[in-house]
Amino acid sequence: MPSQGGVTVTWLGHATTLIDTPDGKRILIDPWLTQNPAVPEDRKQIDRLDLMLITHGHLDHTGDAVAVAQATQPDIIANNEIAGWLGTKGVGKATGMNHGGTVEWNGIAITMVEAVHSSGITDGGETVYGGVAGGFVIRFANDFTLYHAGDTDVFLGMSLIRDLLKPDVAMLPIGGHFTMDPTRAAAALRMLGVTAVIPIHYGTFPVLTGTPQELELAAGDISGLKVVALKPGESVSQSDLI
């Protein structure tokens, strides 16, 4: 069914995100569901999907990529190495790309941008090369633009993301240890210039100690910023973000 009120974003937990577009398309980012302790039990299965985006190769971002792709047959966009790896698993329709590239998909422009992180793929008890981690800036047909940063530290190139791609909303990791923490995420927000942020990649494990409340405090100097702290499984509409 078409999403009422524009794009709808559902945070399933950790970095896993489901997006419904106004014309009824469904997009899943970083499919880690069945073993993800944050995902509600009634959201661990995906029965319909049109597009899958994968930011990098770590198991907590790709754990269900093959199973979901085989079950729902979506198009897939990832870096070249992950797209190639999926092909060895019998997964078709995977488009490889890299930083700075843009893929047009059903009226949606998807640009891969930099991330400061690693990207090894766990495969049969071994770690294989997963290319370079990235994030995605997604400009929908109605011009609403969402930046899903994947796993990253803050980096100066976020100011170029602001200037070149002009995101409205950012989904930023805040847990710390493996990614930036709330203080560093606040620095990212000052460069990005977005109107709202949805915190991700926190609370899943004890080591991920950052909280949305800490982010709100650290970013308190940013006028008009909304910190939209969803619970896993909760959704927010475009109209409530901008």
Per-10-residue mean pLDDT, the chain, length 242:
74 98 98 98 97 98 98 98 97 95 98 98 94 98 98 98 98 98 98 98 98 98 98 97 95
Which pLDDT score, from 0 to 100, does residue 92 have? 85
Q: Using an 8 Å Cβ cutoff, are 177 and 208 in contact?
A: yes
Per-residue model confidence (pLDDT) at position 101: 98
Q: What is the pLDDT of residues 36-94, one digit of tens each?
A: 999 999 999 999 999 999 999 999 999 999 999 999 999 999 999 999 999 999 998 99
The predicted model scores a pTM of: 0.97
Among candidates 197, 224, 222, which has minimal Cα distance to 210?
197
- 21/25 Cα distance (integer angstroms): 5
Assign a CATH topology to domain 8-229: Metallo-beta-lactamase; Chain A (3.60.15)
Q: Which amino acid is at 132?
A: V
pLDDT of residue 2: 46
**Residue written as tokens 């495969």?**
123
**Alpha-carbon distance values, 133 to 49, 116, 158, 213, 233 (Å):** 23, 7, 15, 27, 25
Q: Which residues, at least 6 apart from 82, have a Cβ–Cβ distance to it below 8 Å?
A: 54, 56, 57, 62, 94, 96, 119, 121, 130, 131
CB-CB contact of 149 with 178 (8 Å): no
- 128 neighbors 120 (Cβ within 8 angstroms): yes
The per-residue pLDDT for 1 is 42
Classify residue 38 by burial, with Cβ atoms within 10 Å: 0-12, 13-18, 19+.
Answer: buried
CA distance 57 to 208: 19
Cα(222)–Cα(119) distance, integer angstroms:
32
Q: Strands across the sheet with 196-200, in order?
A: 102-105, 108-114, 134-139, 145-148, 169-173, 196-200, 226-227
